[in-house]
């Protein structure tokens, strides 16, 4: 998940660590597992987008490196094989807002280097590619790392120099992406390591040393946790954030409104004999005005004076960063009557998306 400067554990006063990505894989608002993944998309663990060639199941796993303090990892399990054509890939990625990257001083002679540390485990040994993609200025920098031992947790560290020529736009859009390549076609592998920030028009240099195709066998499994991207040339100890802080930072990009059975969801009123309008306040301010990502998974009950009724859908009327207004035009009541919406089962949910 992407964050700005935060106090480090054991640090006090004005001491801060410049951590950009802090991925302990502990938050999974979309669910702890997803099957049939065939395209690059958000699925389980928050902030991580992944997929491509082959078919995969993704799981928030409890398999973690021993003695390191992690409780969760992100697991990929190949369920149907695939061979990448020229333009195919399987990428694990996270996008970062440009306004969270200004302190790196890119575009100046003082540009900070970036160091990423991560823990990985897989049966698929070999060379993988790692890329920082400067989305704002159309350049990327690629390095590779090698997984040496099968089915063993290994820590990898990659350092990339800052870009002295280009900076990030100071806004809430995609400034930079971290890519970890698990498979790549010839459009991305036919070049060579450049050891320099390279124009994104030269895609052949994205993954030139990639030897692994994670989708070549249904016995392939791949785990990752402890992804930390920070300013500087050395990797510091992983910064463990409290669960509530992690959740709040993830909710900037995605919020899943879930309550157990027979729990209140929101309040509203009948705006006509057949029109229900409700307002859902968000738990934290979102990155931008969100869209309604998913609607009710089963049914909701609307309680009102004199009775109740069941609805199976809500539509987005409008939203801003702090709240959303939704409606249903298939109800039956009296205009002006107040209403409470509650769940019918633990599967009821409404989700809002403001991802980069």
Inform me whether the pLDDT recorded for 10 exceeds 70: no
pLDDT of 12: 33
- Over residues 182-200, the mean pLDDT reads 98
Strand ranges inside 149-274, DSSP E: 154-160, 174-184, 198-199, 221-231, 254-258, 264-272
Strand duo 349-353 + 307-311: pairing: unpaired
Phi, psi of 43 (to 5 degrees): -135, -70
What pTM value is reported for the model?
Answer: 0.93
Using pLDDT thresholds of 50, 70 and 90, give the confidence band for residue 16.
very low
Phi, psi of 29 (to 5 degrees): -65, -30
The predicted-structure confidence for 334-351, as pLDDT tens digits, reads as follows 999 999 999 888 878 899
What lies within 8 Å, CB to CB, of 39 at 6+ separation is: 51, 52
> Is 19-251 assigned to CATH 3.40.190.150?
no
Question: Could you tell me where in the chain the CATH 2.60.120.260 domains are found?
Answer: 19-251
Query: Given this model, what pLDDT does residue 295 score?
Result: 80
């Amino acid at each position: 998940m992407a964050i700005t400067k935060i106090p480090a554990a054991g640090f006090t006063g004005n001491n801060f660590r410049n951590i950009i990505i802090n991925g302990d894989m502990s938050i999974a608002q979309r669910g702890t597992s997803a099957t049939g993944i065939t395209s690059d998309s958000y699925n389980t663990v928050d902030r991580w987008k992944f997929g491509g060639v082959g078919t995969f199941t993704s799981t928030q796993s409890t398999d973690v490196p021993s003695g390191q303090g992690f409780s969760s990892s992100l697991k990929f399990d190949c369920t149907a094989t695939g061979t990448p054509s020229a333009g195919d890939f399987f990428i694990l990625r996270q996008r970062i807002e440009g306004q969270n990257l200004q302190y790196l001083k890119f575009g100046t002679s003082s540009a900070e280097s970036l160091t990423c540390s991560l823990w990985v485990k897989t049966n698929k040994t070999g060379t993988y590619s790692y890329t920082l993609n400067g989305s704002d200025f159309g350049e990327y920098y690629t390095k590779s790392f090698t997984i040496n031992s099968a089915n063993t947790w290994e820590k990898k560290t990659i350092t990339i120099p800052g870009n002295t020529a280009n900076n990030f736009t100071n806004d809430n859009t995609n400034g930079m992406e971290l890519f970890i390549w698990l498979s790549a076609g010839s459009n991305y592998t036919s070049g060579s390591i450049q050891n320099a920030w390279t124009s994104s028009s030269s895609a052949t240099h994205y993954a030139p040393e990639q030897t692994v195709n994670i989708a070549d066998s249904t016995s392939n499994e791949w785990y990752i946790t402890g992804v930390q991207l920070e300013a500087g040339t050395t990797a510091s100890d992983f910064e463990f954030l409290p669960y509530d802080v992690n959740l709040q930072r993830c909710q900037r990009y995605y919020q899943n409104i879930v309550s157990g059975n027979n729990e209140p969801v929101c309040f509203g009123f009948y705006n006509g004999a057949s029109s229900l309008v409700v307002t859902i306040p968000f738990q934290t301010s979102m990155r931008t005005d969100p869209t309604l990502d998913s609607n009710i998974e089963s049914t909701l009950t609307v309680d009102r004076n004199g009775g109740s009724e069941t609805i199976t859908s809500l539509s987005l009327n409008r939203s801003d960063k702090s709240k959303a207004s939704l409606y249903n035009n298939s109800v039956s009541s009296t205009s002006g009557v107040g209403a409470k919406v509650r769940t019918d089962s633990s599967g009821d949910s409404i989700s809002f998306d403001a991802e980069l």
